[in-house]
Structure 1
Amino acid sequence: MELLLLSNGKTTEHPGLLGWARQRVQALLAARGVNQIVLVPYAVIRGDWDQRARDLEESLGVEVVSIHRSDDPVSAIESAQAIFVSGGNSWRLNQQLHEQGLIVPIQRAVRERGVPYVGWSAGCNVATPSIRTTNDMPVCNAAVLPALGLFPLQINPHYLDASISGHMGETRDERLAEFCAINPSESVLALREASLLQISGEHIEYWSVRGEGYKVFKHGEEIKEYQDARPLGALTPFTAKL
């Protein structure tokens, strides 16, 4: 199984879609001989799906075909060399994955055929067991919680622990602590901007272009921050690797 789970798609310091992680993404595609990407853009609500495909193609230098252009989305996944799932709204994305009948085909493509899966923001959210730790509003009525379950832990992308002046609502840490209180058997991995998890077979790596760490939230335990993937070895079926 080959997964790249990214907190976000763009940064101010690195131009282009996935520009901050471009070398890692391109290395993965080159290692697998990928010359065409199938893009799942359903999370994009206020943007143009064709433009998202063009942006990705321009950034990575690989042909990108958006799944919305296919008459048979399931067949597009079944023949895909690589599956890229865009950021946007996790609720809308997960709804469309279920309604288009893509959950099982993506699971089979990734788990059985070893097709690389690259997801950022909402695309990262849906790679986990559910979208319960998304930051997005449930903008659609058909709110479905179970997701692809390719990665065994819940992830909170775009994690931010900075204090915002004048903000009187719960902090992100408090919201994640609430999740863990309701779901004490589950852990949440909080990914800051410009950071990612890369899973290859039984190995997992963590990387941040800014050199920042990630946090793990679990009910009844102190919130801890880590700089590498070794602590995840105790939380996932994967063998942690630097």
Structure 2
Amino acid sequence: MELFLLSNGKVSGESELLGYAKGPIQSMLLSKKIRSAVLVPYAVIRGNYDARAAELENSLGIQVTSLHHFDDPVKAIEEAECILVSGGNTWLLNQMLHENGLIVPIQRAVREREIPYIGWSAGCNVATPSIRTTNDMPVRNSVVLPALGLFPVQINPHYIDAHLSGHMGETRDERIAEFCAVNPSEYVIALREGSLLHVSGDELEYYSVKAQGYKVFRHNQETHEYFDTQALAEVVPFRCR
């Protein structure tokens, strides 16, 4: 299995989509001789699907076609060399995956045929068991359906632990702690901007372009910041490096 799960698509001051992860992604594409990819664009609300595909073509150097151009989205996934899942609104994305019958086809493509999956922000969220740890608003009145479950642990992308002056609501840490209190057997991996998890076969690697750490949350356990895969080795059933 080949997964790139990115906290976000761009870092501050960078104009190129997936630019901060371009090195390891292109290395994988080259090693697998991948020349094209299918973009799952459903999370994009205030943008253009084709413009997003064009950004990815320029960044990754491969042909990228948005799924809305295919008469049969399921067949497109079944024939894809690589699957790209855009950021945007996680609620809308997950609902559209279910409505278009794409959950099982994507699972089979990634798990059985080892088609690479690259998802950022919302695309990272839906790769986990559920979207319960997304930061997005439920813009549609949809139930919380299961997500793809390619990665076995919940992720909170765009994680930030800054305390904003004048903000009287819960911090991100408090929100995640609430999730853990309701779901005491589950872990949440908090990924800062410019960071990603890379699964390749049975190995898991953490990368941060800003040399920042990630956090692992669980109910009634002290939360620490980690800069290597030490904590991941304890909660994720992949070999870490």
C-alpha contact 2:89 2:136 (8 A) present in aligned 1: yes
Between the aligned partners of 1:74 and 1:144, the Cα distance in structure 2 is 22
Counterpart position of 1:85 = 85
Q: Tell me, yes or no, if the aligned pair for 2:39 and 2:67 is still in contact at 8 Å.
A: yes
1:145 partner letter: L
Residue equivalent to 2:166: 166
Q: Letter of the 1:37 partner, please give it.
A: A
Query: Counterparts of 2:148 and 2:34 in 1: how far apart (Å)?
Result: 22
Q: Give how far 1:174 is off.
A: 0.2
For 2:143 and 2:42, the matched residues in 1 are separated by 14
Name 2:96's counterpart in structure 1. Answer: 96
- Between the aligned partners of 1:145 and 1:172, the Cα distance in structure 2 is 23
Structure 2: gaps spanning 5 or more residues: none
Unaligned ranges ≥5, structure 1? none
Partner of 1:59: 59
Tell me how far apart the structure 2 counterparts of residues 208 and 33 of structure 1 sit (CA, whole Å): 26
Structure 2 residue aligned with 1:136: 136
Residue pair 1:157, 1:191 contacting (<8 A) in 2 also: yes
Residue 45 in structure 1 maps to residue 45 in structure 2? yes
Kindly indicate whether the alpha-carbon contact (under 8 Å) linking 2:38 and 2:80 is maintained by their aligned counterparts in 1: yes
Give the secondary structure class of the aligned counterpart of 1:230.
coil
Give the 3-state SS of the residue equivalent to 2:144 in structure 1.
coil
Q: Distance in 2 between matches of 1:178 and 1:142?
A: 21
Q: CA deviation at 1:179?
A: 0.2
Give CA deviations for 1:164-218 in whole Å, capped at 9, x if unaligned: 0000000000000000000000000000000000001110000000000000000
- For the pair 1:75 / 2:75, whether they are aligned, the reply is yes
Alpha-carbon distance in 2 for matches of 1:113, 1:126: 19
| SS at 1:124 equivalent | helix
Contact 1:92-1:140 at 8 Å conserved across structures: yes
Secondary structure (helix, strand or coil) at the match of 2:10 reads: coil
Instruction: Tell me if structure 2 keeps the 8 A contact 1:89–1:122.
Output: yes
- TM-score of the pair, normalised by structure 2: 0.98
Q: Give the residue type in structure 2 aligned to 1:18.
A: L
CA contact (8 A) 1:127 1:149 kept: yes
Over the aligned positions, Cα root-mean-square deviation in angstroms equals: 0.8
1:1-242 equivalences in 2 (<5 Å): 1-241=1-241
- In structure 2, how many angstroms separate the alpha carbons of the residues matched to 1:200 and 1:220? 31
SS in structure 1 opposite 2:65? strand
Superposed CA deviations along residues 14-65 of structure 1, whole A, max 9, x for unmatched, are 3311011111111111111110010000000110001100111111111001
Check conservation: 1:132, 1:145, Cα contact below 8 A: no
Once the 2 structures are TM-superposed, how far is the Cα of residue 142 of structure 1 from its aligned partner?
Answer: 2.2
Residue type matched to 1:222 in 2? E
Name whichever of 156-165 and 135-144 sits farther off. 135-144
